[in-house]
Amino acid sequence: MRGLQPELGHFSRQVGFFYINVEIYSRLLAQNMFDLTKQIRLSTELQKKYQLARAVLHVVFVVSALFIAYRILFPIIPMDFSIANPSSNKNTLVFPRLGQAGEFPKKGLLPKGSSLFFNANPTGQFSSAVVNLTFDKNGQNLEGTTVKINKSYQAFFFPTGEPVGFKDGTLLTTENGAYYIVSNGLLRKFANTDIILQLGFPKSAFMLVSQDDLKYNKPGNDVADTLSYPENSLFAIGDNYYELKNGKLLPFISTQAFLSQYPQTAAIAKNSDFFAQYPASETSLGFADGTLGSAADSVYILSEGKSYPVASANSFNVMGLNWNDIIPLDQNELSIYDKQKQFTVDDPHPNGIIFKDQKTNELFIIKDGKKLPVPNETILKTYSKQRPIIASLDDSKLEASCTLKKKLFSDNNYACQTSLENLMAAVGNDYQINVAFPNGATITNLNATFSTPFNWESMRNSLSKIKTAIAER
């Protein structure tokens, strides 16, 4: 996998620098270059001074080596964002916005009563953070302004939307003998079982659900016509699968793609004469949104006609994805997707990704900037066969906070420091930072610096990053 994270590159450079210095120092010792007494005769007094200087040099080297090792194993990670240059590659904080789901603050203007949100995604465990904000020189005194920090996944911070119902094309039945198809989001009941038989729907494909499960799809008109099929009906013609949309049959790019969304029994068998009634479309259908696929040396998240190459193994692991969910793709299957920029730890999960609360087992599906509750596992099965990413609603509500104070010798720079100890065990990689401005302000720069705790777990994490960075070169 390609595209190492910046902090991994930083680790690699530091490690290389450390080893080079050790090597140089070792060679100098081996060559006795620090011992000049073989060529030069010194007086007793000068000999003592020389030995002392030599000992000091040894101590300086050892202390320097230990300091470099400490900074490698327990890094301090500064992250920044320039409001004046929002597209700069140097920006390492992400997604500054007005309100949790708001827009970028144009020209840094923060209206009265607004809240500024932004996100930081340093990899590792951190014990404290310093938030530093720079404002317009003509701004008001902002001392005492509260900064709040929460931790989860960026997408799991999305606002909660309405619960989802069964997916389009799903065939359902209840214990009272009623049969339904989900069509354009609506629950359409078959007027009688004869219509099911005449249209050719296989009764074995109807999934048994409770009456209560049906409430998440709004009711639509009954299916009473035997001469036409409801929207989203599924068909098998020859070796190919199709879905009926807007009077045309859209082909699935492969059998594997069809099976990622529907059971094989859901498709009505037809012959090629059926194209006279419903012509084939040139638009192909792919895999269920949120599917993980691999091709060549890359792993992709497939979602709504787009493929997101995962930047690195570190990104894959940090973002909670599961290696066992990856399915192999051929180039034909991948060709129908528009390739996007690399998916990194700075990005929210794409549409179709499923989250599961580790305590309550609540399920959510990501869709257009919201996390939509999935009422139960039965409904979930109609959307995805991938394992959900484990998250925590309780953890996302944990909070670290501090109040801004004006920095010395500065009229427009404010900072505060807070402990992150209560967030260290929280599930997720994303720190969401929130600052409320009751009187408004104009901001120019954002900075957040994260410090790693001095413990064995941090050292193991750092060594693991170094190993990953070396392996991915």
**Partners of 80 in the β-ladder:** 447
Give the integer Cα–Cα distance in Å for 466 and 72.
9
Which residues make Cβ contacts (< 8 Å) with residue 125, sequence separation at least 6? 424, 452, 453, 457, 458, 461
- CA nearest neighbour of 116 among 439, 440, 435, 445: 435
Pairing of strands 128-135, 146-152: unpaired
pLDDT tens per residue, the chain (473 residues)?
543 344 444 444 444 444 445 454 455 444 554 455 556 676 788 778 778 888 888 888 877 776 566 556 667 899 999 999 999 999 999 999 999 888 999 999 999 999 999 999 998 889 899 999 999 987 778 999 999 999 999 999 999 999 999 999 999 999 999 999 999 999 999 999 999 999 999 889 999 999 999 999 999 999 999 999 999 999 999 999 999 999 999 999 999 999 999 999 999 999 999 999 999 999 999 999 999 999 998 999 999 999 999 999 999 999 999 999 999 999 999 999 999 999 999 999 999 999 999 999 999 999 999 999 999 999 999 998 899 999 999 999 999 999 999 998 888 999 999 999 999 899 999 999 999 999 889 999 999 999 986 666 656 665 666 666 566 55
- Closest Cα partner for 208 from 168, 167, 264, 170? 170
C-alpha dihedral sign at 363, 365, 366, 369 = negative
One-letter-per-residue 3-state SS of 39-85? CCCCCHHHHHHHHHHHHHHHHHHHHHHHHHHHHHHCCEEEEEEECCC
Q: In sequence order, which ranges of 319-431 are alpha helices (DSSP H)?
A: 331-335, 377-380, 393-397
> What's at 213, amino acid-wise?
D
Domain 78-158+351-451 falls in which CATH fold? Jelly Rolls (2.60.120)
The identity of residue 265, as a single letter, is T
Task: Identify the burial level of 163 via C-beta atoms within 10 angstroms of its C-beta, where 0-12 means exposed, 13-18 middle and 19 or more buried.
Answer: middle
Q: How far apart are the first and last CA of the chain?
A: 10
pTM, two decimals, is 0.81
Q: DSSP code of 427?
A: S
Looking at residue 107, the DSSP 8-state letter turns out to be G
Helices 456-471, 6-30: axis angle to 10 degrees equals: 90
Query: Is 301:337 a contact under the CB 8 Å cutoff?
Result: no
**Six-digit token string for 195:** 């219509």
Are β-strands 218-219 and 186-189 bridged in parallel, bridged antiparallel, or unpaired?
A: parallel
pLDDT at 83: 96
DSSP 3-state of 379: helix
